[in-house]
């Protein structure tokens, strides 16, 4: 079975191309140096021209084939778009490998929302190893027990729900407060 690393491309990965002394190799190159993969699948919402120097640099450093899935996101924290892009990328990867691949999702590159989606997918739809990397601590498996994931998700979703409740609860009062009072002069019509 093929061992496949799937990862978003993050800003530190770009910086590693020209600022390696300051930022190190970046999360993706660190993972490729520390672990053995048969293929690397990178998911990117950046322009091809922005990604090209990083890909050239990465391909010079590593022998693994690199596949890029180009996606479009409304913004890099839009959970719905991130989820759809990640599912499409993983599904296409599995299809390329006859439905079987040993998946590893890299949590470090990208936004926190992107990492959260990898966790959700690894714990539900696409069983995968989760890794994280840093210059200081290297590459390691991220331990996210399912019960923590199950507890985290309702908390993650509760805050937007509470905000929606606050907004909708306050809406009628605001509308009532914005109506002209009966003592106020009526607007003049007939201009």
Residue with tokens 């990898």, as numbered in its chain: 118
Residue 18 in domain: yes
Is 107 within the bounds of a domain?
yes
User: CB-hemisphere CA count at 13 Å for 93?
Assistant: 31
3-state helix, strand, coil in the chain (%, to 5): 50, 15, 30
Domain that holds residue 84: 3-144
Residue 163 lies in a domain: no
Tell whether pTM > 0.85: no
pLDDT tens, residue order, the chain (191 aa): 899 999 999 999 999 999 988 988 999 999 999 999 999 999 999 999 999 999 999 999 999 999 999 999 999 999 999 999 999 999 999 999 999 999 999 999 999 999 999 999 998 899 999 999 988 889 999 988 765 555 555 555 555 555 555 555 555 555 444 444 444 444 433 43
Which are the contacts of 100, defined by CB distance < 8 A and separation ≥ 6? 1, 2, 94
């Amino acid at each position: 079975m093929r061992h496949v690393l799937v990862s978003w491309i993050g800003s530190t990965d770009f910086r590693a191309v020209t600022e390696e002394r300051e930022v190190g190799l970046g999360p993706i190159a660190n993972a490729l140096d520390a672990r053995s993969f048969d293929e690397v699948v990178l998911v990117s919402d950046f322009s091809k021209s922005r990604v090209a120097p990083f890909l050239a640099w990465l391909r010079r450093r590593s022998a693994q084939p690199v596949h890029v899935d180009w996606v479009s996101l409304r913004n890099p924290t839009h959970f719905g778009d991130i989820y759809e892009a990640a599912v499409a990328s993983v599904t296409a990867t599995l299809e390329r490998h006859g439905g079987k691949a040993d998946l590893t999702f890299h949590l470090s590159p990208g936004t926190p929302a992107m990492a959260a989606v990898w966790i959700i997918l690894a714990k539900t739809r696409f069983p995968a190893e989760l890794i994280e990397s840093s210059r200081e601590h290297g590459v390691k498996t991220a331990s996210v027990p399912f019960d923590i994931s199950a507890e985290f998700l309702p908390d993650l979703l509760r805050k937007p729900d509470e905000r929606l409740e606050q907004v909708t609860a306050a809406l009628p009062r605001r509308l009532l407060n914005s109506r002209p009072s009966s003592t106020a002069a009526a607007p003049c019509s007939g201009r």
